[in-house]
Amino acid sequence: MVKLEEEVNSSWAQVENVYQRRADLIPNLVSTVKGYAAHESETLQAVIDARARATQPTAGTTPDGIAQVQAAQGALSDALSRLMVVVERYPDLKANENFKELQSQLEGSENRITTERQRFNETARRYNSTIRQFPKNILASLFNFEEKGYFQAMEGAESAPKVEF
Amino acid sequence: MKNSNKSKLFSLLTLFLLLTLSVSGRVPPKPKPARMVNDYASLLLPSQVRELEERLLHFSRESSNQIVVITLKELDNDIAAVATEIGEKWGVGGSKFNNGVVILIKPKWGIEDGQAFIATGYGLEGALPDALCRRIVEREMIPHFKKNDYKEGIDAALKVIMEIAQGEYSFKEYIGEPEGSPIAAILVLLAVVIFVVAITRKGPPSSGGKGGGFRSPVPFIFGAPSRGGFRVGGPSGGGSFGGGRFGGGGAGGRW
């Protein structure tokens, strides 16, 4: 059980890594967009705010903790999607090499987030099914092995804010 | 102790989880023995498949980097997810360096766009970052794929990928950063051409001028792996995938 919990923790660390990777792209993204679309300050500010909330310390891998992370990161995904919709109105920005590069990095981090979340769910599943089985469940509650949460699938398409040109 | 509500919730969660997991894409089964070219969409002639297979096996043995080319007529999930899953499930690349690449191509047919994706194992994310993969797909593959020249597009992309994966030159050079001293550039150009011809005896000499610029020549004339590429010599088990892992890195495009 300890080993399984360690697996959960290390896959959780991976999830946090890739979320951080996405968060790190945002300052550059915001300043690039600002250069072309200075009037879209509301949309940009929404992204900045969502990022700030998403990069706050997390509450761990319990069901509540995961739900919290999913909500905060989901809000950031939404803000980014709205930003991408706005960007559609600025062909010069869309053609800018720096922006295109940021965009592929952003898509890359979304792919990584999807991958690591799926793997986390797998480790959580293995852990949870073990701690619920007799006789391990007795040991589990004795030593306070808590149930882990899962990432839920998003409604509709996966949360990646993709832009088609 | 757990009450009945909690266990109901748990079974609901499990059910939900199983549902979400089952959407994660059915990838073709891992070929046994390992096969580098998997042309399920029949885009290549048998002779082309054979030649490509030999080239990729040779590359795998020489550099321990494993590149898998796979074509599929249909995708039941996002192409990035499918390519990553193939790399992970098949274990493309060595387990020590996670140095695998999966090139997935879905041809254009009917009303559907063609799509291509280059997925990189954890260990090659440094040498082949996402932005580079995107450019390779756009510059090397899509122009050919638009004309249904799948072989040409694959060859063009492989040329770049192989050279970068081995640390021959870096992605900055491919993208085209400003060059330093012109004399150094000429010397380096010569050295790279000779070096690459020596290694890849089969293929044509490297043009070397893809990016239009070169940085410090010394490290890669002597083929130092410090560029982030891998050239671990020795056999990598010609008939099997090494168990390399993929994290979702890479990028692609559509046409």
The 10s digit of each residue's pLDDT in A64-93 is: 888 889 999 999 999 999 999 999 899 999
CA distance A56 to chain B (A): 24
Is there a contact between B248 and A111 if contact means CB atoms under 8 Å apart? yes
The pLDDT value given to residue A165? 44
Locate A18 and state its tokens.
Answer: 């890739």
Q: For residue B27, what pLDDT band results from cuts at 50, 70 and 90?
A: confident
- In this prediction, residues B43-68 reach a mean pLDDT of 93
- In this prediction, residues B194-218 reach a mean pLDDT of 50
Mean pLDDT of chain B: 77
The pLDDT value given to residue B22? 43
Residue B130 vs residue A135, higher pLDDT: B130
Is there a contact between B81 and A115 if contact means CB atoms under 8 Å apart? yes
Cα–Cα nearest to B103, from B178, B63, B43: B43
**How many CA atoms lie within 13 Å of B63's alpha carbon, on the beta-carbon side?**
30
Is there a contact between B249 and A111 if contact means CB atoms under 8 Å apart? yes
The 10s digit of each residue's pLDDT in A13-39 is: 999 999 999 999 999 999 999 988 888
Is there a contact between B249 and A112 if contact means CB atoms under 8 Å apart? yes
The 10s digit of each residue's pLDDT in A108-120 is: 999 999 999 999 9
The answer to whether residue A115 neighbours chain B at the CB level (below 8 Å) is yes
Instruction: Name which of B3, B17, B115, B128 to mutate to probe chain A: the one with the most chain A Cβ atoms within 10 A of its Cβ.
Output: B17
The 10s digit of each residue's pLDDT in B64-95 is: 899 999 999 999 889 999 999 999 999 999 88
Q: For residue B234, what pLDDT band results from cuts at 50, 70 and 90?
A: very low
Residue A14: list chain B partners with CB under 8 A: 247
ipTM of the complex: 0.80
The pLDDT value given to residue A136? 74
The pLDDT value given to residue B62? 87
Is there a contact between B248 and A115 if contact means CB atoms under 8 Å apart? yes
Residue whose entry in the numeric block shows the structure tokens 């580098």: B36
Instruction: Return the residue of A nearest to B255 by Cα.
Output: A165
Highest mean pLDDT pick, A138-142, B27-31, B227-231: B27-31
- In this prediction, residues B149-175 reach a mean pLDDT of 83
How far is the CA of B200 from the CAs of B4, B163, B186, in angstroms?
66, 10, 21
The 10s digit of each residue's pLDDT in B175-196 is: 665 444 455 556 666 666 666 6
| DSSP class per residue in B37-77 | EEETT--S-HHHHHHHHHHHHHHHHHHS-EEEEEE-S--SS
How far is the CA of A31 from the CAs of A25, A45, A160, in angstroms?
11, 11, 21
State how far the Cα of B229 lies from the Cα of B220, in Å rounded to an integer.
10
| Contact yes or no for B81/B89 (Cβ under 8 A) | no
Residue B249: list chain A partners with CB under 8 A: 108, 111-112
Is there a contact between A152 and B250 if contact means CB atoms under 8 Å apart? no
pTM here is 0.73
- In this prediction, residues B52-67 reach a mean pLDDT of 92
For β-strands B37-39 and B100-106, DSSP reports them as: unpaired
Lowest-confidence pick of A57-66, A139-148, B150-159? A139-148
The answer to whether residue A116 neighbours chain B at the CB level (below 8 Å) is yes
CA distance A105 to chain B (A): 6
| Contact yes or no for B154/B136 (Cβ under 8 A) | no
**Non-local CB neighbours of B27 within 8 Å, separated by 6+ positions:** B82, B85, B86, B89
Highest mean pLDDT pick, A80-84, B16-20, B30-34: A80-84
How far is the CA of A25 from the CAs of A19, A28, A107, B117, in angstroms?
10, 6, 11, 22
CA distance B191 to chain A (A): 31
| Contact yes or no for B255/B44 (Cβ under 8 A) | no
The pLDDT value given to residue B235? 44
The pLDDT value given to residue B96? 86
The pLDDT value given to residue A141? 74
Cα–Cα nearest to B169, from B123, B226, B250: B226
